[in-house]
């Protein structure tokens, strides 16, 4: 009997996959047997990550891509098809926070371009190829900030709320093609990007009081949830936003 998390013979693209959560997801999918395209804007980082995973025995390819460039997105999909022969799983993880507290329109436009528009474009490019394989899974990276008001990362929170709604819309539109589309909403996860928050004792005291599990999430926590959504184990789940936050979004802080 095949393990429900087995991805052998399937092919995935994971954007923003050279560090942090994206790299953890790429590694998890590769360990489950998937062919994985590693991609990010930094070509050197893509090459290094690809070399690391190849050395670990995984079937991966590296394709640098600026997700704000429609031609580069097309090349990413075409390159994956050329290398692996098809596409079954798309993980849209690339994103930026933007400038905290800013409503400057140039900052807003860049955040929206990377965090939301690029996902609209890439899912559209991937759809016919996933449908041609009889269906598959798209996982869009939202955020805990999409579930609550936020006074610091305004554009980011707005974009991530849009990502969650996009997942619902696409799940309805593309369900007949057997394409499942879901969103993940990580809370505070221990990565290099969150290091300043983790070092802030006052912030951490408040945050852990608001988190029923009383700990910070790990990259492995997010990667495991993504593997579940990518795999046959979640075959009847679509259009959902799943919070990976230790309960922060549901607690009253007591």
Residue 213: both structure tokens together: 């599990």
Reference 80, options 65, 66, 58, 68; nearest CA is: 65
Residue 138, both tokens: 């798209």
**Is 156 a catalytic site residue?**
yes
Q: Where are the alpha helices (DSSP H) in 85-153?
A: 105-112, 118-132
In angstroms, rounded to a whole number, what is the distance separating the alpha carbons of residues 173 and 171?
6
Catalytic residue from among 156, 159, 171, 188 = 156
Question: Where are the strands (E) in 47-189, listed by range?
Answer: 60-62, 89-92, 136-141, 179-186
Find, among 48, 74, 72, the residue nearest to 62 by Cα. Answer: 48
Cβ burial 150-176 (10 Å sphere, 16+ → b, else e):
beebbbbbbbbbbbbebbbebbeebee
Please list the active-site residues: 156
């Amino acid at each position: 009997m095949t393990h429900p998390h087995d991805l052998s013979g399937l092919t995935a693209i994971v954007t923003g996959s050279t560090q942090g959560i994206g790299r953890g997801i790429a590694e998890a999918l590769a360990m489950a047997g998937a062919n994985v395209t590693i991609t990010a804007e930094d070509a050197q980082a893509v090459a290094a990550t690809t070399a690391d995973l190849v050395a670990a025995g995984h079937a991966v390819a590296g394709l640098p891509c600026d997700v704000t460039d429609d031609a580069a997105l097309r090349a990413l999909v075409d390159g994956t098809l050329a290398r692996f022969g098809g596409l079954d799983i798309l993980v849209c993880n690339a994103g930026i926070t933007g400038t905290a507290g800013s409503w400057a329109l140039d900052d807003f436009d860049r955040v929206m371009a990377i965090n939301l528009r690029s996902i609209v474009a890439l899912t559209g490019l991937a759809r016919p190829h996933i449908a041609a394989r009889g269906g598959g899974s798209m996982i869009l990276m939202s955020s805990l900030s999409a579930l609550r008001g936020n006074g610091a990362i305004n554009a980011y929170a707005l974009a991530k709320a849009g990502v969650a709604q996009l997942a619902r819309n696409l799940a309805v539109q593309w369900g007949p093609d057997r394409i499942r589309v879901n969103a993940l909403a990580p809370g505070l996860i221990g990565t290099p990007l969150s290091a300043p928050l983790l070092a802030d004792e006052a912030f951490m005291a408040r945050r852990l009081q608001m988190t029923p599990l009383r700990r910070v999430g790990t990259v492995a926590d997010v990667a495991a949830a993504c593997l579940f959504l990518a795999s046959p184990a979640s075959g009847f789940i679509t259009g959902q936003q799943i919070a990976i936050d230790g309960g922060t979004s549901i607690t009253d802080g007591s």
